[in-house]
Structure 1
Amino acid sequence: MNDTSVLATCLARLSWPPERLAREINRRCGNGTISSKAPYNWLKGACPRRRLPHIVATILSDKLGEPIAVEALWPEHFPSAAPQCRRIPAQRRRAAPGRRPAGQEPLTAAVDWLVADEALPPPSRLRGDEIPAVAIEVLAARIQQLRRLDDSGSSGLVLEWALQDLQWAEKLAAQYSYDAPTGRQLHRIIAELGQLTAWLTADQGMDELSSSRFLAALGAARAAGDRPLAAYIISCMSYRAGWAGRTDEALRLIRIARKGSAHEDMGIGQALLATREARAHAGLGDEAACQRALDDAAELSRTGGPSAEPPWAYWLTPAVMVADAGRAWLELGRPDRAEGHLTRGIELLRGGQPRNLLLHSASLAEARLACRELDGAAEAATDALSLAENVSSQRAHARLTALRRRFVRYDAAVARDIVQRADDLLAVDPARAAG
């Protein structure tokens, strides 16, 4: 056994035997993925197959609270990206003493981005074959294609596809040569692919993996010198924290994103940040602050910015803003105000973004139930359940399961029909979910 390897050192810091690492991999990837003794071979120098090296690096990074690169774990199999690492200031490379709580990692990275005195030097690499310009063009086009494919509800397929493209882009950055302009483009692509895969893993309920991907995406956006994209990534981390009930963290993150991009030309992206701040205030029950943020979002939606929208903002429309405002009012316990916004947003969204339609239809059903409009709630729930037949999303599954529990409380034929449809679709065990 090589007790001096990075892998051995990481396991020692965690006080993990190799079998514990095997259990973590099988928990994340499915029982039977590897044998309990496989990590012993890795400690002797063997390299796992396919994507397992990256999964191991992600698990160790999550558990140790600091980035562990796959190149460090298996240097003979993965070329080092040392030219990029040299540009990171020494104080940022230093590991914090002890383990940092996972919830603080996004905040630390966001604050570092906000208070940075100067931009990082443009990324470039002198060694290796030169990256063909067409490779950058292909990757950029693929990102937009993958985003639009995700709009159709095929998130599982898109996640696998995007992960492969991300791995390819990272390989280009680590092994090929490129000048500063190409380096900025390449790292912007890595950031966008990282944001997309982080968002999709969050949607599928893989919280720790999503966190590490968002942090990596933010680092790539910083390397690319793209502050609007970095602010967008931080806003996504804020939104994800809100899903998980970490409302204080959600508010701090979105305030950092807005402050750090206040003078950037983001077009409607600035309105998105304001809407997400409204959602964070709603989660904390602060109606006045929520209303101020919604007013900001409405004004920013009207004025926009002087230049073209960034590529990642293609999905932002007035429909999205209106429906999100409805969700904010629902979270504040104001279903009467939420219903009008949600109804209008859903009408504007018809024909596109089925996952958003599903989630907002479920919210409309919740709002109508809170207003004791059972028939209207059942109509909205029927729409949500119909959309769910073609949408793969753990987040949507959880929302529909919670909605089902609300309908169980009503002794009416229309409510029983919704419960039965939900049971058929979600494979719910009525004996276990009767509450």
Structure 2
Amino acid sequence: MAGTPDKQPNAQLTSWFVRSGWSKGELARQVNRRARQLGAHHVSTDTSRVRRWLDGEQPREPIPRILSELFSERFGCVVPVEDLGLRPAHQPPAGGDIDLPWAGPQTVQLINEFSRSDLMLGRRGFLGTSLALSAGPALLEPMQRWLVPSAQAAQPVPIGANRDAGGRPSRLSEEELQLLESTAAMFREWDNQCGGGLRRKAVVGQLHEVTDLLQEQHPEDVTRRLYRITADLAALAGWMSYDVGLQPTAQKYLVLALHAAKEAGDRPLGAFVLSSMSRQMIHLDRPDDALELIHLAQYGARDSAGATTQAMLHALEARAYANMGQVNKCHRAVRMAEDTFADARPEEDPTWISFFTEAELHAENAHSYRDLAYVAGRSPTYASLAQPEMQAAVDGFREDAVHQRAYALNLVGMGTVHLLMREPEQAAHFTEHAIGVAKRVRSERVNTRIRKTTDTAVREFGDVPEVARLAERLSRELPDVAESA
């Protein structure tokens, strides 16, 4: 790690560090943990190294990117490298990581190369060095081109068709195509059950194999189905990356998934990808961006998405409005989600929306009211609205053997609601239960939410015996040690 000859104390980094509440040792541990998670095994940071950064030493990559991600997650907003007083390895052009050509061959090549790099991460180092999160116009303007018709636009081909276009026989049989489609569905079920950390590399590997197939000649209908499978797998790789905390990687996969969905002519799948991007923006405290992405999804799939997908989009619209403090619009979007879901026909839905059950609808609405409570200064009124919805979600997921991550997340959500209602014993009860589920689910997102809820409980109700027991169990059973994705 090389410093500058006449270095000055880094006031910007010091300001973020002091507000984080971390000690130098804790920040060092978090940097090492994230570096191991991302394959940068050469990184070994200690308290003296952190002290030198605060004194003005400029760390080499991937440290600036790691610090940017850690502080972004800590504060719930995007904290660029430059805002930390650090120099990035390079300054990419605005939208450089996501403003990509909307053309089939380039999409296939980009996904193929990106997935190959991801698969080689453990051996070749840190994939995220060249990536940066995009937000605002740099994100939204390129995504709006999803709506622009392709030069060779054609009607989508129904699943199950396998016509011979132009006299070219397909090397892939109908049975092989169905197997590829069912494999993507199986990976989604595993993700819901086990979290993103266990099967992410398997999904990336399957995605890479499908893009290899797309570089061969196929009839148009087969090509469309392969693009649909590619979009499904890329969206899942993005979601699993998000689940384990790889935010720039997640965004890149989701952008590429949207490109593939466009080539497949599948507007509902594209809307689903945009909804995942919106969730990421809510997580990063960018509700305005989240709302723009949801409105883009709603407009693009207005004539083609089923009731379940439309209900999911309304529920996420409510989340965005809640985080913006727009109470009436939040309530209206919640009602729209409920009314639209009443018309859902699950037997007709694609597999990628199967997660959006009645329990998930209750969960989204609960989180909207919970978020409103925080925005309104920890309002007990909105917390009381969240409580029955969150309870319905917990009850719905309790006997669901597949959606175990959702069960854990809503147990933690129930804990946060009880904290808002000044009920620390109940908060500790539900959060303790979440720890038990989290041990079966490999999800950094779940673990992070448990730690944050426990930290809040200890800070506000540390003298309550149930809270003290929760903190002790957390340190014993769910230590802050990341495992490789």
TM-score, normalized by length of structure 1?
0.75
Tell me the residue number matched to 2:429. Answer: 379
Tell me the residue number matched to 1:204. Answer: 244
Offset, 1:190: 0.2
**Which amino acid in the other structure matches residue 41 of structure 2?**
N
Q: Quick check: 1:349 aligned with 2:390?
A: no
Q: Any conservation in 2 of the 1:62–1:208 contact (CA below 8 Å)? A: no
Q: Quick check: 1:390 aligned with 2:390?
A: no
Q: Any conservation in 1 of the 2:272–2:309 contact (CA below 8 Å)? A: yes
Tell me the residue number matched to 2:162. Answer: none
Offset, 1:428: 5.0
Tell me the residue number matched to 2:206. Answer: 165
Offset, 1:122: 7.5
Q: Any conservation in 2 of the 1:65–1:100 contact (CA below 8 Å)? A: no
Tell me the residue number matched to 2:7. Answer: none
> Within 1, Cα distance between the matches of 2:346 and 2:466?
50
Offset, 1:278: 0.5
Q: Any conservation in 2 of the 1:120–1:222 contact (CA below 8 Å)? A: no
> Within 2, Cα distance between the matches of 1:27 and 1:64?
21
Q: Any conservation in 1 of the 2:224–2:265 contact (CA below 8 Å)? A: yes
Percent of residue pairs identical:
24
> Within 1, Cα distance between the matches of 2:169 and 2:281?
40
Candidates 91, 99, 102, aligned match of 2:134:
102
> Within 1, Cα distance between the matches of 2:411 and 2:323?
20
Q: Quick check: 1:184 aligned with 2:194?
A: no
Tell me the residue number matched to 2:411. Answer: 361
TM-score, normalized by length of structure 2?
0.67
> Within 2, Cα distance between the matches of 1:131 and 1:201?
30
Structure 1 gap ranges (5+): 1-23, 34-58, 79-98, 430-435
Candidates 19, 40, 46, aligned match of 1:30:
40
> Within 1, Cα distance between the matches of 2:453 and 2:35?
33
> Within 1, Cα distance between the matches of 2:293 and 2:274?
6
> Within 2, Cα distance between the matches of 1:142 and 1:125?
29
SS at match of 1:303: coil
The change in CA–CA distance for 1:194 and 1:428 in structure 2 (over 3 A counts) is closer
The change in CA–CA distance for 1:126 and 1:335 in structure 2 (over 3 A counts) is farther
Q: Any conservation in 2 of the 1:422–1:428 contact (CA below 8 Å)? A: no
Candidates 272, 287, 298, aligned match of 1:232:
272
Offset, 1:108: 2.5
Deviations 1:366-394 (A, max 9, x none): 11111111221121111111111111111
> Which has the higher relative contact order, 1 or 2, with Cα contacts under 8 A spaced 6 or more apart?
2
Offset, 1:412: 1.3
Offset, 1:63: 5.9
Moved more, 108-117 or 137-146: 108-117
Tell me the residue number matched to 2:464. Answer: 412
Q: Any conservation in 2 of the 1:61–1:212 contact (CA below 8 Å)? A: no
The change in CA–CA distance for 1:138 and 1:62 in structure 2 (over 3 A counts) is farther
> Within 2, Cα distance between the matches of 1:60 and 1:128?
43
SS at match of 1:392: coil
Aligned length: 358
Q: Quick check: 1:120 aligned with 2:153?
A: yes
> Within 1, Cα distance between the matches of 2:269 and 2:306?
9
Candidates 361, 375, 387, aligned match of 1:339:
387
Tell me the residue number matched to 1:133. Answer: 174
**Which amino acid in the other structure matches residue 273 of structure 1?**
L
Offset, 1:238: 0.6
Q: Any conservation in 2 of the 1:368–1:377 contact (CA below 8 Å)? A: yes
